Structure 1
Amino acid sequence: MSEHTLQNSSSEAVSQIVAPDAKVTLHFAIKLADGQVVDSNFEGSPATFIVGDGQLLEGFEKSLLGMQAGDEAVIDILPEHGFGMSNPNNMQRLPRSQFGDMTLEPGLVVSFADAANGELPGIVAGFDEKMVTVDFNHPLAGKNLKFEVKILSVE
């Protein structure tokens, strides 16, 4: 019987790995390939999420599977596993008159209302006196990312 009890306690330790429906608390940083930090909570409170709840993109979640409390890693996330590839259909040409007397410059983020009256950010990609090209792709679409992570706990 005591052997069986030992096996149970060791299997409980094994079950504390990141798996579907596990509650994971971690510190993370998302960086561009050149090391520029896009988002990080290493200086603040850790994040907690349930694997599969949609809070974290699937590609990021999958990279954590099998890790356990105390593990640290830097994981390369390809665009197709991160924020997707840049979609040319998300580039829209709009009349310059729609922007009023706004001072435009490439890279400027402009907020638009979507069909449900929610906020839809777009980035000015280019413009002339008649038309403005706005990129509605996610700013990290098409980018190779580094996902730095330190797992604090897994339940």
Structure 2
Amino acid sequence: MTITNENCVVAIEYEVKEAGTTEVVDTNKGAEPLEFITGKGHIIPGLENALSGMAEGESGDIMVSAADAYGESNPEAKQVLPLDQFEGVDLKEGMTLYGQGENGETVQVTVTSFDDKDVNVDFNHPLAGKDLMFSVTVLGAREATADEAASGQVGGAQGESCGSHGGGDGCGCSH
């Protein structure tokens, strides 16, 4: 079975490195697989697009450009804030902090530097502007149930596999 189009529940194991380096920046190896529904924007577009056409049980290395991952680094997303806004925080260069945005959403910032008056923060995703190399294994793929397709949320292992219905019904899975 191969992954195509929309409304397939896909489970992958992955390891990701910044392109050209050996340092692992994220992995789920030895943990729960990452499950998502294709076509719902749950994972970075470059990775989802590259998974299309891969078969269950297949492994591969996928290069994803910064533009198709977390975007380019935006210089306007860097700000200088007064130190007193960080009262009670043991600041360290490179640390990630979480706060609340203007609309109540959670925002992530990285402390890039600080002195006795100011703190320089970067609102860009830590992997913005970086090309990424994914090593992935497709552990499973099946049609999303009607509820999963409507809600966009994976409902667990209770759904039918694509093989049990022949891959039809517009799930986007093909054999």
Shift in Å, 1:123: 1.0
Gaps of 5+ in 1: 1-15
Shift in Å, 1:154: 2.5
Please identify the structure whose Cα radius of gyration is greater: 1
Q: Specify which of 88, 93, 100 is matched with residue 106 of structure 1.
A: 93
Q: Specify which of 73, 90, 93 is matched with residue 77 of structure 2.
A: 90
Shift in Å, 1:101: 5.0
TM-score calculated relative to the size of structure 2: 0.73
Normalized per residue, the structure richer in helix is 1
- Taking the aligned partners of 2:18 and 2:131, their CA distance within structure 1 comes to 7
- Taking the aligned partners of 2:81 and 2:123, their CA distance within structure 1 comes to 12
Q: Specify which of 33, 39, 45 is matched with residue 52 of structure 1.
A: 39
Cα RMSD (Å) of the superposition?
Answer: 1.7
Matches within 5 A, 1:5-154: 16-21=1-6, 22-33=8-19, 34-100=21-87, 102-154=89-141
Report how many aligned residue pairs link the two structures.
140
Gaps of 5+ in 2: 143-175
TM-score calculated relative to the size of structure 1: 0.81
- Taking the aligned partners of 2:129 and 2:86, their CA distance within structure 1 comes to 27
Structure 1 residues 106 and 152: alpha-carbon distance in aligned structure 2, compared to 1, 3 A threshold: same
The alignment-based identity, stated in percent, is 35
- Taking the aligned partners of 1:65 and 1:47, their CA distance within structure 2 comes to 16
1:13-42 C-alpha deviation (Å, 9 max, x unpaired): xxx311112222221122223122222222
